[in-house]
Structure 1
Amino acid sequence: MVEVVDEGKAKLGEIDARIEELRREIVVLDDQKAAFEKVIKVYDPGFELVTPPSKTRRASSRETASGRVTELLKGRNNRHIVLDILRRSERAR
């Protein structure tokens, strides 16, 4: 059980680090985009930035599956279910 928690914590740390890395990359890309827009405006004063059409976000198959699982687990003892899954996985090893 402790191994599962330790692995979960390690993975959470990896995810946090990746999110921070992506945020820094977004800042750099936003700066580069602004610089390109300025240069283009110098050469083409009538240039209007065309923003891509807003993407309506569809629920991914993962989100819909997650929603179905959530619906199935409503009103149930989730702790008991998780512990049962962990016990079964330990026996399978």
Structure 2
Amino acid sequence: MVHVADELKRKSAEIGAEIDELRTRISKLQQQRAAFDIVIQTYEPDYAVAASRTVARRRNGDGADDISALFKDIDRRSFTLRTLRQAGRPITTGECALAFAREVGLEQDDPRMGKIGNRFSQVLDQLARANRVRRAEMADGHRHLWEISA
């Protein structure tokens, strides 16, 4: 029975990581579409962009507060190391973000998960430079698995 739960957890984390990747791709596509809309408006000033299609642009850190507030009282390095130890196996950045989401009471489909994953990616890179963690292997050909350095 434990093996089934472990496999389900692994699959859930895989799906979560894929959702994060899709959110990132959607965000990039929305930005590209917004750029096209701007160019179209230069040729057709009467061109109206539907309100649902507009992309909120964040400059100079605007909008980062929603993520920063989540990390306010969290030592990200310690959390990341603890998460890797508790996993007992190499994990992806997305799985680390999911563990954080559970800890702070967020749903795994929270729209901020991509940004949370980005923060943990930075932390993992810092820990790798400090020789505290290392990339174990590739999960599926493009996502790294991380583990505690021996």
Structure with higher RCO (Cα < 8 A, 6+ apart)? 1
Whichever of the two has the greater Rg, that structure is 1
TM-score by length of 2: 0.34
